[in-house]
Amino acid sequence: MDRYEKLREWMVETQIIERGIKDKAVIAAMKKVPRHLFLPEELIDDAYDDRALPIGYGQTISQPYIVALMTELLELKGDEKVLEIGTGSGYQAAILAELVKEVYTIERVEALAQKAKKIFEKLGYSNIKVYMKDGTEGIPEEAPFDRVIITAATPKLPDPLISQLKEGGIIVAPVGERYSQYLLKAIKKQGELQEHYLIPVAFVPLIGKYGFDS
């Protein structure tokens, strides 16, 4: 076992399992994906710390527990087509790629999208497609999606993402103000969303037509 694998085991035991994450597939994915490879060189040794970290361009990679929690909330079975808004480092997309059939991820900062593409290639994640555009509009030509995960703070769930979600599908997103939000899990039933607000969180803003202004 290399040093990073050991750190990952420790991260999963102390930050993920101890805090109540139960989904075995999520736990296995968190143990497997090399989080340190998604970070800027100078932060590699902090990769398994219990916190969010900067990835450049004013953006952040989420705390490991939040990644695990949001993934568990998606209730994945393995055959889903998932849409992620906010590729960032690509770490959350890689976790999803371990658990489902297809991941579509959208990033508005070109340099981050390019970097993420490279690491997906390097690690062999051929089931992730990266799009460079305003993610609040979704990907109409690839809809519908079984699941949608927004990894940036939004004032409300963007309408296009609600319409691109399948009946019975789940959206997980931080919804609220620019600097503080609640994690929302919403399930689409008979065309209506059943909403469950969970815990307070702090994400960087979702910027776009159906998000924050700039």
The angle subtended at Cα 10 by Cα 8 and Cα 15, nearest 5°, is 95
Residue 126 catalytic? no
Q: Which is nearer to ligand SAH, 15 or 60 (CB)?
A: 60
Q: CA–CA separation, 123 vs 78, rounded Å?
A: 20
Q: Which is nearer to ligand SAH, 161 or 186 (CB)?
A: 161
Q: Which residue type does 41 have?
A: E
Going across the sheet that includes 181-189, the strands are 128-132, 102-107, 81-85, 145-150, 165-176, 181-189, 192-201
Residues that bind ligand SAH (CB under 6 A): 59-62, 85-86, 88-89, 91-92, 106-109, 112, 134-136, 151-152, 204, 206-208, 211
Closer of 135 and 160 to ligand SAH (Cβ)? 135
Q: Which residues are catalytic?
A: 62
